Amino acid sequence: MKWLEHMKTINRHKSYVMELCFRVGLYRQGLMHDLSKYSPVEFLVGAKYYQGDKSPNDAERKDKGYTSAWLHHKGRNKHHLEYWIDYGLDEGHKMVGMKMPVRYVVEMFCDRVAASKNYRGEKYTDADAYNYYMKSRSHYIIHPETAALLEKLLKMLKDKGEHLTLYYIRTRVLKQKDY
């Protein structure tokens, strides 16, 4: 019944993201978040490699050498920094992170907080998403301004808490045309 546990994990994560997105005013993104996880290419693989305390993508990668579900997912969901990787304009056309629209950076923030809540459960603290990001950021290909905004929001969550951070996002970050 790994498929049922996987479904519960997806639904709980989606519920957390939806709540956070609604609290900042991103209603459509909250409703539409991660719908591709219910597609057969993502769901069936996720159910097969379900672990409960972390993403099934790592298990699939260890087994196959790549992650079919992740490759599908990141290419369809604009809140993932990997969606925004493209060839740069500099000579050599190195892969670079493109600057993400603010609303997707905010959804990425919500996604990371929700993932921390989902996988950490009762042990969750407002520092978890920040700590995970800081541990992983050295391998990210992300636009510097996008990284700065995400880090600012995650640090604010860690230092000032969820209520104040979501208020700041709703009243300041999403009201700006640029960041």
Q: Tokens standing for 74?
A: 């990141």
The 10 Å CB-count burial string (b at 16+, else e) for 60-93 is bbeeeeebebbebbbeebbbbbebbbeeeeeeee
pLDDT digits (tens, 9 = 90+) for 17-63: 999 999 999 999 999 999 999 999 999 999 999 988 888 999 999 99
pLDDT in tens, 99-130: 999 999 999 999 999 999 999 999 999 999 99
Asked if pLDDT for residue 93 goes beyond 90, the answer is: no
* In the predicted structure, residue 177 carries a pLDDT above the cut 80: no
User: What is the C-alpha separation between 26 and 24, in angstroms, rounded?
Assistant: 6
Whole-prediction pTM: 0.95
